[in-house]
Amino acid sequence: MVAYAPMRKRALVTGIGCVSSFGIGHAAFADALVSGASGIGPIAEFDTSECRSHRAATVQGFDPGAFIPPLKLRRIDAVGRLALACAHLLFADAQLTIGSDSGDDIGVAFGTFTAGLDSIVEYLHGLTKAGPTGVPALIFSNTVSNAPASLCAIEFGLRGPNVTFNQREASSLAALAYAVGVIRDDRVGAMVTGGVDRLEETFFKVYDRFRALSPMRPGAADTVGVAEEVARPFDRRRNGFVLGEGGFTLLIESASVAERRSARVYGEILGIGVSASSTPLNRWPSDGTGLVRAMQAALADAGLTADRIDAVFATGNGSPQLDGREGFAVVQVFGERPVPVVSLKGAIGEFGASGAAAVVAGLSVMPRGILPPTCGFALADPDCRVSVCGFKRHVAGGTFVVNSRASCVTNCSIVVRALSEQLHE
């Protein structure tokens, strides 16, 4: 007797919530990207006069009081406020009201690099300066990285699976991969997923101390002929990345649930691939083979060959090693075909939610038949060997790959198809 596994559910994107360095909402985000704008600017939130780097892509036009009542604001830190705002935007965009019973069928999977840091720093500062009595009790619950996902579940009555991924730069794409798996297995009908991060002072200054940011190290500007602090993905002058922040959330629903409520569909997650790489401590993966495996697994999961992919939204951020190894991986998977490659990190910086930001960008711009330019890219690096979009480019199809690599061991790739019409089975 042969046992057949049940057919897996299709995972559709039916809502988007976005707070970025370009303002509120995914339309403003997409418009800015297509125009070639950069969200990177001088840091105003804290003093960087003793740092080597002074710029980041910080959120603009965000008033948490527009989404959260004053009494709740006192008990919620910066990342939690961003998460709740994005969830409000998400459900409004999806035109979904959570009833007393429907919350059982909706879960949360967030990725974050920085959740809890604001409260931990404040907590430890009070403890070391004034002892236990100097620590505000209200902030203790925010010191754990799963607080934003929990706050969203409590606020909206979401009683499905609730998980948080902290896989550094790959956090949000890892969370999205998990959410898709839960939908496919029919454990719940919908998942709120994506990523949220805020730029915290100590976090920034640690990266600056490690000299990972542009400019990377003394003398680097002289060797590449660049002195200014800019992220240049895949450019031969690249000398480090710039940090960013923002919230990018997606509502993933099974096709049957979306059809039942006549939901507008932005796109479908077709394939997911995750792998590990050998990685030195606090470095990027040692080679590109792990990302090759992740992309190949995502394509196999989607049932597609590489020639069916219309664009790659890359993980490249302006780091010499990371970008070169991704270029190797793209050539290994796509051969000599010049598949268009876009990196958003010259415009929005590097952070744990950047993978989800790339999914939002692809779903928002590819139905327009457009790929945004890669900010900071001007001079091709022959060692990367990829066809980087230095200018706005037209694209015929809507199927794309999003890559995320973490400065630990994680590689994530997701295949997405953007849709411009109402779901029809």
| Residue 298 binned pLDDT confidence (cut-offs 50, 70, 90) | very high
Q: Looking at the domain assignment, is residue 172 inside a domain?
A: yes
Measured between alpha carbons, how far is 14 from 263 in angstroms, rounded to an integer? 6
Q: Looking at the domain assignment, is residue 424 inside a domain?
A: no
- pTM, full prediction: 0.93
| Residue 6 binned pLDDT confidence (cut-offs 50, 70, 90) | low
Q: Looking at the domain assignment, is residue 423 inside a domain?
A: no
> Tokens at residue 86, please?
């994005």
| Residue 422 binned pLDDT confidence (cut-offs 50, 70, 90) | very low
For residue 220, pLDDT over 90 is answered with: no
**Do residues 166 and 97 touch, judged by C-beta distance below 8 A?**
no
For residue 3, pLDDT over 50 is answered with: no
**Rounded-to-5 percentages of helix, strand, coil across the chain:** 40, 20, 40
Q: Looking at the domain assignment, is residue 233 inside a domain?
A: yes
For residue 423, pLDDT over 90 is answered with: no
Number of domains composing the chain: 1
| pLDDT of 126 | 84
Lowest-pLDDT range of 5-9, 223-227, 249-253, 356-360: 223-227
Instruction: Give the residue numbers spanning the domain of 125.
Output: 11-418
Q: Looking at the domain assignment, is residue 67 inside a domain?
A: yes
**What distances in angstroms separate CA 379 from CA 123, 236, 307, 374, one per listed residue?**
46, 6, 26, 12
Lowest-pLDDT range of 11-15, 67-71, 178-182, 421-425: 421-425
| pLDDT of 410 | 94
The half-sphere exposure of 250 on its side-chain side, counting CA atoms within 13 A, is 34
Measured between alpha carbons, how far is 31 from 321 in angstroms, rounded to an integer? 31
What's the DSSP call for residue 171? H
| pLDDT of 34 | 97
Tell me the pairing of strands 311-313 and 399-405. parallel
**Do residues 289 and 55 touch, judged by C-beta distance below 8 A?**
no
**pLDDT mean over 38-59:** 95
**What distances in angstroms separate CA 370 from CA 34, 73, 173, 277, 398, one per listed residue?**
8, 39, 23, 33, 10
Q: At residue 74, what are phi and psi to the nearest 5 degrees?
A: -65, -25
Residues with Cβ within 8 Å of residue 316, at least 6 apart in sequence: 233, 234, 322, 323, 326, 327, 341, 343, 345
In sequence order, the β-bridge partners of residue 311 are: 400
More confident call, 37 vs 385: 37
Of the chain, the percentage scoring pLDDT greater than 70 comes to 94
For residue 386, pLDDT over 60 is answered with: yes
For residue 221, pLDDT over 50 is answered with: no
**pLDDT mean over 113-117:** 92
pLDDT averaged over every residue in the chain? 91
> Tokens at residue 271, please?
């394939």
Give pLDDT tens digits for 121-147. Answer: 888 888 888 888 778 777 888 889 999
Measured between alpha carbons, how far is 229 from 233 in angstroms, rounded to an integer? 13
Give me the CATH number covering residue 199.
3.40.47.10
| pLDDT of 285 | 83
Measured between alpha carbons, how far is 97 from 3 in angstroms, rounded to an integer? 39
| pLDDT of 346 | 97
Measured between alpha carbons, how far is 171 from 269 in angstroms, rounded to an integer? 17
Which of 366, 301, 360 has its CA nearest to residue 340? Answer: 366
| pLDDT of 217 | 44
For residue 334, pLDDT over 90 is answered with: yes
Question: How far, rounded to the nearest angstrom, does the alpha carbon of residue 288 sit from its chain's CA centroid?
Answer: 20
Q: What is the DSSP string of 360-424?
A: HHHHHHGGGTEE---TT--SB-TTT--EE--S-EE-S--EEEEEEE-SSSEEEEEEEEE--S---
In sequence order, the β-bridge partners of residue 276 are: 410
| Residue 99 binned pLDDT confidence (cut-offs 50, 70, 90) | confident
Q: In this structure, is the dihedral angle defined by the CA atoms of residues 180, 374, 217 and 198, taken in order, positive or negative?
A: negative
In sequence order, the β-bridge partners of residue 312 are: 341, 401
**What distances in angstroms separate CA 6 from CA 179, 186, 255, 327, one per listed residue?**
18, 10, 15, 38
| pLDDT of 164 | 98
**Do residues 76 and 85 touch, judged by C-beta distance below 8 A?**
no
Q: Looking at the domain assignment, is residue 6 inside a domain?
A: no
Q: Looking at the domain assignment, is residue 4 inside a domain?
A: no
| Residue 424 binned pLDDT confidence (cut-offs 50, 70, 90) | very low
Lowest-pLDDT range of 5-9, 200-204, 255-259, 298-302: 5-9
For residue 2, pLDDT over 70 is answered with: no
Q: Looking at the domain assignment, is residue 1 inside a domain?
A: no
